[in-house]
Structure 1
Amino acid sequence: MTEEAGLFGLLTEQLIVVATVAGAVAAMPALLEWLAERRRRREFLALSLDELDLRSRAVRSAGLEPLLSENADLIDAIRSPARYPQAATTGNEILILGVPMSGRKSLALRLAQEAGIQRALVLHNAANVDALAWSRDRIHRVRGVTWLLLIPNLDRVFARADDDEVVAQLEALVEAASEQRNIVVIATADSLVPDSTLDNLFGIKLLMPGTASVLPRTPPRSADALAYHRAVAEHYVKRFGEHQVQFSGIDGLDRDAFITRLLSLVSNPAEIEDICTLCLNAAIFRSHHGGHRTIDTGIVDRALARTLVGVSAME
């Protein structure tokens, strides 16, 4: 009986070994496929992302100096946010619009360099969910220095994305990055539809020379909506006085004229906040460079042009 039990145990062990080997052999194709897929995803991820050292990066600057001068207030707000009371709410998400090869990426990198940003993470393929997840984790780990998150051709992702997960992760990435004081998000696009998701993600839009802006927008006309927008505008205009910023009075520009013009153009409260913040920061920037801390029509026009933008797709 003992010999039979021992023989049975030996046969059982052998069968287990054979079954294990057979199972491993059967699972081998699936394992190899998983390893190959993992390698492909890692290679694709490497192609989707770049990290740049902007301190030593040579960027094409021909023709960009006027654009840098026009946006000196934005650069200063990024470089010295403590000077500006609302620098954290508007200014660290910028969308550069223009046709391909017009210098959009070069302008983004030069803006970052002028603002003293040392490092950049370039997300070449924003439709890659692995790259989106990796980018979000990377920016959360940034400490001590200011980084640029650059996303080229972002409008193409929204136009082609049929995956809700991609769109959701992309929105989460931009929003999470823009909430960090040490992350500046700059994206480029060929076209922009007013009041679209892409439009609402970015408070500031800059147009490359020769890019025509079209605005087929219809501001709300209901009494309730206008009253609500007026209350929002009055809230932000009140902050002008708190920071010793006044309206110039030139060309009839005063508090009431400013609010009236604002309400005739904007579509939502976020645009009101962005425009008012840009006006406030521009007046403060002017005072730091020998001018009066006043808002004139030039400042208002520039704030409107940076916020209320639409660009048709180029054929």
Structure 2
Amino acid sequence: MSQVPLSLIVEVKARREEARDIVTFELADPHGRPLPAFGAGAHIDVRVPSQGQEGLVRQYSLCNHPEERDRYQIGVLRDPNSRGGSVAMHDQLQEGDLIQISAPKNHFPLEPAKRILLLAGGIGITPLLCMAERLAHTGADFELHYCTRSPERTAFRERIDAAGFADRVRFHFDDGDEDQKLDLAGLLATPDPDARVYVCGPSGFIDAVMSTAKAQGWPDERLHSEYFAGAVTASEDDDSFEVRLASSGASYTVPADKTVHQVLAENGVEIMVSCEQGVCGTCLTRVLEGEPDHRDLFLEDHEHAANDQFTPCCSRAKSKVLVLDL
């Protein structure tokens, strides 16, 4: 396995408890130099601090104003059921620490539209808050619906209340009154050909928004999503299959309990990986023959249907053999 190279060293300039189990980190160049520019919806790869090891690489959306070059701000939810990245960020990363990050990447960019609907679930507020900052700055027509379990788990509440776009934000709490909970069917009842919907948060929240919008007649090209939770990569019902490298003809068996990239790495074939959950698209690999079993959350439905590329960090095969452009 080959991790994505992280080219920037930044210092943790500030750490803030934003809400229960949510911390923000403000990152800046140690020498005060401007950081690479980014657009609304962008994220960075972060090498999570670890003791005596190279460290995990995780992705975090940038949530500050996209015209700022003096800092990056990320929000991290402490998830005890995660693979360890968020817990390490919460427990080990302190002000003054130096960490490695990548330059910003954007798989969730804002597209032109007369009206924008932003729907955030929990920590999914981070890229959408950046979008709200950008949209307000440009005078765009938008509204932000922010859904959380309770007020004490609602990050950035003070920042939003003090923002110039506060009147465009609606908070929805799971433990609140029924009349303040988000009415997805009502909100999306009338497809607007001049509008776009952006949604980010837990998989269940995104799936609910997307399925409701499609049922109401919203076209796919007007719906944009970004997942934080990873894909299901394996199950006890999975069959083994072969992957063959087009360049050498070498063939390797992928058993049910291993991923394609794990098997290739064991045999000295390196593929660049980052999230290892089918979210970021870093490991995207061209398929020359065979039918992939797509399990990523990165490719769109029409890209899955083409079956000419897949994510070897999590996806498998429906055919007995996959021939890869490697």
The TM tier, using the shorter chain, reads under 0.3
Higher normalized helix content (fraction of residues): 1
| Structure (1 or 2) with the larger CA radius of gyration | 1
TM-score, with structure 2 as normaliser: 0.26
Of Structure 1 and Structure 2, the greater strand share is in 2
**Greater length-normalized contact order (CA 8 Å, ≥ 6 residues apart):** 1
